[in-house]
Every structure is written in C-alpha cells, then in structure tokens.
Structure 1
Amino acid sequence: MTMALWVLGAALFSVAVGRWGTSAGGSFLSSKGVTAPNFRNEVIPTSFGGVMVLLYMFVVLVSVGIPKFFFPLFPDALFFAVLFATGAVAFLGWLDDTLGDARHKGFRGHILSLVREKQLTTGGLKALGGGMVAALCAAALAREFAEWLVFALYIALMTNWLNLLDLRPGRCLKFYLAGGTLLLAFSLDRAESLLFVPLWGLALALLKEDLAAKVMLGDSGSNLLGVHLALWSLTFLPFRAILVVLALLILGHYYAERHSITKRIERSRFLGYLDRLGRQ
C-alpha cells in the first residue's frame, strides 16, 4: 500500500511538472527556432522529446534518485538501462528532427541510401543507434541468449512503432497512454514503476497541447515514449505476452512499409473515431 501511494505521488508530481514544462518548453523551442510545419502546414514547436527528457530526469531525481540511496527499490541494472535509453533515443530522435532529410522514408529508404548512394542519413543513424540501444538494454534484462534476441528486437520495434504513429496530433500519445495505463494498473505496488510513471505523467500533461496541435513530439518524443513503453512492458509482462506483442509489431511494420497507417485508420470507423477523439 505504501509503495502504491509512492507511485501515485510520483505520477501526480510528474503531471504538475509537465503542465508547467509544456508551456515553458514550447516557448523555449519557438524562441530558438526549433519549429516545423505540421500536417496542416502550420509552423509549431517540434522535437518536444528533448524537453520531456529534462523534465523526466528532474522528476526521477526527486522521486527515485535520492530515495534510492536510503531504500532498496530495484536493481541498478534496470535503473541505469532506463536512464541510458531515455537520453540516447531522445538524442538520436532530436538529430533526425533538426538535421534530417525528408527525402528518405522507412527502413528501406534509409538502407537504399546507404547502399546505393553511400550516404548515411540521420534516419539511418537513428536506426543503427536505436538498434544498439535496444541490444544494450536487452542485455540488462535478459537471462539467456534467446531471450536477449527477443527483447532487443521488441525494444527496437516498439520504439519505431510509436514513431510511425506520430503523424497526427495525439495519436502517438494516446497509444502510449493506453498501454502505460494498463501497465500501471497491474504494477501500481511495484517499485520498478517509479522509473516509468514519471514519463506517463508528463505525457498526460502534454496530451491537451498535442491534440490542439500546439507542439509536436517529433522523433525525439515518439522514440522516447516507445522505448519506455517497451522497457515498462518487459519489466512486468510474462514472456509469452511479449512474444504476442512482438508478432503484432512485426506485422505492423510489414504493413507500414507497404501501406499508409493513416489511411488504414481513416477507413475504419472505430479507429478513426479514436484517432480524432479530443483533437481540435
């Protein structure tokens, strides 16, 4: 019961920090020219994942970092794996947000650019770096080689899946919050949740601004949400459940390489309704 209250307290604290940070972060990005046109061709602040990383680190320092020296909470390997993944994928996404070339799309486009043009794109760098981050984080969680392979692929695909969803306001955040809320409900009394609930609270605070198309997550934000959702689920879900979700991620990526996810959502009455829900 005490741990559940601690987790809930961390969630509420992160929501409060997120509400302040969303306004301040959006103004900062605009003032520095970190902007991009959205799907309506409106120029708004982008790459908000960089702001979320700083806010996340602050919340974790207060709710976990300092108390961890006085109370046994969770293994150090998990703690440092989550912190490493948080900073690494957001940085790789930020590079793609600010220096990226929109000519190349998808895994196939970045690979062809490297093979045919001998040119490494920022998207290709993000894919290679993200794969290494996934492999290192999987090594901290896996107990055997086969499990490591599954975990590494799972982390890489979940991270990229959230990036594929980030094409309309609120879509990526809705998916993350739906998955994160389910995980939180089943792990409320576990100390490991303290590593993941701060980002959940920040995402909840950002949802209104994202739905209103006032800020964009960018690759830095969607990658951050994706890697956290992957590590969160790996921490609590049984291996069989991970295999099921991995199979769905593989199918989703196969479809996305050949078809438009947005058009698929728009053709479905139910998915279209969920996608437009709350959007201004």
Structure 2
Amino acid sequence: MRFIGGALAGPVGGGVARAALRALQDNPALERTNFRGRTVSLAGGPALALGATAGAIVHRPEHAAANAIAGLGAGAVGLYDDLVGGRPEHAAKGFRGHLGALRQGRVTSGLVKIAGVGAAGLAAAALLPRKRGIDVLLGAGVIAGAANLFNLLDLRPGRALKAGLAAGTPLGASGPLGAAGALLPADLDERIMLGDAGANALGALLGTAYTARAGTFGRLAALAGIVALTAASEKVSFTRVIEGHPVLNAVDQWGRRQEDSNNSEMSGKPAESKPRKPSPYPRG
C-alpha cells in the first residue's frame, strides 16, 4: 500500500501545485517586484504548500494529520506575512524587533509567523511516532527550524526548490518532490516566487518527513545542524559561500536567467529573491 502511495505522491503533488498555480497566478493582489525589478507572482508559495502537502498525505496517510498541520500551517502564516508584512504597523527587524513591537502593544506579522510555525511544528511532532516529551520537543525544533532555514535559502530564483529536491530525495519525500519539480521551471524563469509561504511549507514538510524517520539522537543531530546553519547565516552570506564554491555555484546557476549570474549587490549583501512589498519599511 505504501508503494502505491509513494508512486502516486509525486504526480499528485505536482498536479495539485500546477492546478493551484493556474488558479492563483493572475491574481493582482499576489503581484510583487523581485530583486531585479521584474514583476512576479507570489502564487508559487500557496501552490507549493497545497501541492506538497497533498502529495505528502497521499504518500504517508498514517501521518496525514502531521503533514497537513506542518505544510498548511507553516504555509498559511508565511502567506500572511507575505501579504501584510510591508505595512507600517508590522514593521520590525529580526526576532528582537518583533518582541520589542509586542512590548509596545503591536503584534507584527513576523511574530505571527514565528509563533505559527513553532505551533505547527509542535503539533505535527506530537502526532508522529516517538511521543516522549523530549522527542516531541526535538521534532518540533527540527520542523520549525527547517521551515525557517528554507526561508533563509530563498534568496535567488530556484535555490530553495533545488535545496528541497536535494534534501527530499534521500528522505523519499515524493510528495514535496513532485510539487517542487512542477514549480521549478516557473521559479527559475522568475514568473513566480515562493515567498515565506512556499519556503516555510517546503521546509516544514521535509522536517516532518525526517522527524517521522528519526529517533532521539537523529532529531538532536538534525536540530543542532539547523541551529548552526541558522546562526551562521547571521554572520556569513549563504550567497557568498555558494558563489565561492564552483560546484555549488554551478548547481545554483543551473536553469536560471543568464542576466542573474552577474547580479551581486555592490554592498555585498545578497540580493533577495523575496517580494518587495508595497511599503518603504524593511521586512522583519
């Protein structure tokens, strides 16, 4: 039965992602300007969240509730931040900025996203095997941490999806793989972007797939790696590391529009493939 689910998961994930993209991509409310001034659609985010979640449920129906909560929960709060995060009342920088805004009586979209992804990770982990308290907490950390890590990777067209394909293949996560593969050409061509909705959902689902297979030590090791990479991202640009490694750079550039290859910002800060929201305020 699992073999049948695994065989169907990829096509289901890809089919649902394509159908959702067709339904959403002409919505003007989802149009944004990317890092090179090109108009793109945020429809890729919810399309990926829906397709990857549907595929994951078909693949592992015994973990249907965990996958639904992780994928749709992380995707929903990410989409909320994508849509309203540029408004003045949501302006904040970093986790400390969001907490500072809360002390001032403002609940920012970034804080909603942080809390929502954390809650989704905790609920999903509690529904997976190994229900001891320490295992649930470690699993929640892996799921929420992976969601955030993929969001940090989503700085160039196709990068987060390529990372998802690389991470999902050894996990056998055929549902997310099908959705990621279906949307990769449009992402590389800069017709869509994942935004927080897609990147968070993809990371959360891959984190769920890993957590479902891992024991206490495996969860601890994965969480330590995620924390280390997240901390490193505060000091070192992922883009600079990738561009400085010939193999990683070749993979990163594959399939992308040629003019993007020479588009590093003069400041040295990586140009983000994130939506520029219609506001002069920075994102948190």
Question: What is the CA deviation profile of residues 98-146 of structure 1, one whole-angstrom value per residue up to 9, with x for unaligned ones?
Answer: 100385343333234334x442211111001111111222222242111
> Are positions 1:138 and 2:125 aligned together?
yes
Where does 1:156-195 land on structure 2 (aligned, <5 Å)? 156-184=144-172
Corresponding residue for residue 188 of structure 1? none
Corresponding residue for residue 93 of structure 1? 78
Aligned positions, number: 253
How many Å separate the matches in 2 of 1:143 and 1:60? 21
Tell me how far 1:5 sits from its aligned partner: 4.3
Compare the two structures and name the one with the higher helix fraction.
1
Corresponding residue for residue 12 of structure 1? 11
How many Å separate the matches in 2 of 1:157 and 1:3? 28
How many Å separate the matches in 2 of 1:84 and 1:113? 28
Where does 1:1-280 land on structure 2 (aligned, <5 Å)? 3-19=2-18, 21-22=20-21, 24-25=22-23, 28-55=24-51, 63=58, 75=62, 78-101=63-86, 103-115=91-103, 117-141=104-128, 142-184=130-172, 196-280=173-257
Question: What is the CA deviation profile of residues 227-266 of structure 1, one whole-angstrom value per residue up to 9, with x for unaligned ones?
Answer: 1000001112343333222111111111122333223322
Specify the code of the residue in structure 1 equivalent to 2:71.
Answer: T
Moved more, 30-39 or 214-223: 30-39
Specify the code of the residue in structure 2 equivalent to 1:29.
Answer: Q
5+ residue gaps, structure 2: 258-284
How many Å separate the matches in 2 of 1:57 and 1:152? 17
Specify the code of the residue in structure 2 equivalent to 1:125.
Answer: V
Specify the code of the residue in structure 2 equivalent to 1:49.
Answer: G
Tell me how far 1:74 sits from its aligned partner: 5.3
How many Å separate the matches in 1 of 2:136 and 2:215? 14
Q: 1:42 to 1:167 in 2, by over 3 A?
A: same
Q: 1:86 to 1:137 in 2, by over 3 A?
A: same
5+ residue gaps, structure 1: 65-72, 185-195
Moved more, 135-144 or 173-182: 135-144
How many Å separate the matches in 1 of 2:135 and 2:53? 29
How many Å separate the matches in 2 of 1:227 and 1:52? 12
Corresponding residue for residue 69 of structure 1? none
**Root-mean-square deviation (Å):** 2.5
Specify the code of the residue in structure 1 equivalent to 2:66.
Answer: A
Amino-acid identity (%): 31
